[in-house]
Structure 1
Amino acid sequence: MSWDFTEDAAFLALCDAYKESGEPSAMEFLAHGEGAFHFQELTQNAAGEGIDLSDSDALDEFQQEVIDSLEEMCS
């Protein structure tokens, strides 16, 4: 993927919300409430950048990259 989503405003908001939530699991955070909202916004921004996430494998891979980045950068 050539788009650096970690610089996107939606990811930065997701990171801040994850920090504030106190949730230890990024995966659980993305599955509910504010985390799900920001992740959806991030996927929409990815589509705007030309990233095709219509394939479930591509979406799963993107979600795992986001989870890994949240745990690495936002914990």
Structure 2
Amino acid sequence: MNWEFTEDAAFMALCDGFRESGENSAIEFLANGEGAFHFQELTQNAAGEGIDLSNSIDLKQFQQEIIDTLEFLCK
């Protein structure tokens, strides 16, 4: 992927929300309302940047990259 999603406002909001939630698992955070909302917004922004996530494998890889980055940068 050639898009630096960590600089996107939706990712920053996702990261802030994850920190504030007290949740230990990024997967669980993404499953709740606030996390799901920001993840959806980030997915839409990715599409706007030309990232094709219509394939379920690509979407799953994108989601895993978000999870890994959240757990690395935002704990």
**What TM-score do the two structures reach when normalised by structure 1?**
0.99
**What TM-score do the two structures reach when normalised by structure 2?**
0.99
Separation in 2 of the partners of 1:42 and 1:73? 17
Give how far 1:32 is off: 1.2
Question: After TM superposition, which residue ranges in structure 1, 4 or more long, deviate above 4 angstroms?
Answer: none
Separation in 2 of the partners of 1:29 and 1:55? 23
**What residue in structure 2 maps to residue 74 of structure 1?**
74
**What residue in structure 1 maps to residue 60 of structure 2?**
60
Q: Aligned residue pairs: how many? A: 75
Separation in 2 of the partners of 1:57 and 1:28? 20
Separation in 2 of the partners of 1:19 and 1:35? 11
- CA root-mean-square deviation: 0.3
**What residue in structure 1 maps to residue 43 of structure 2?**
43
Structure 1 residues without counterparts, runs of 5 or longer: none
**What residue in structure 1 maps to residue 27 of structure 2?**
27
Structure 2 residues without counterparts, runs of 5 or longer: none
Q: Determine helix, strand or coil for the equivalent of 1:13.
A: helix
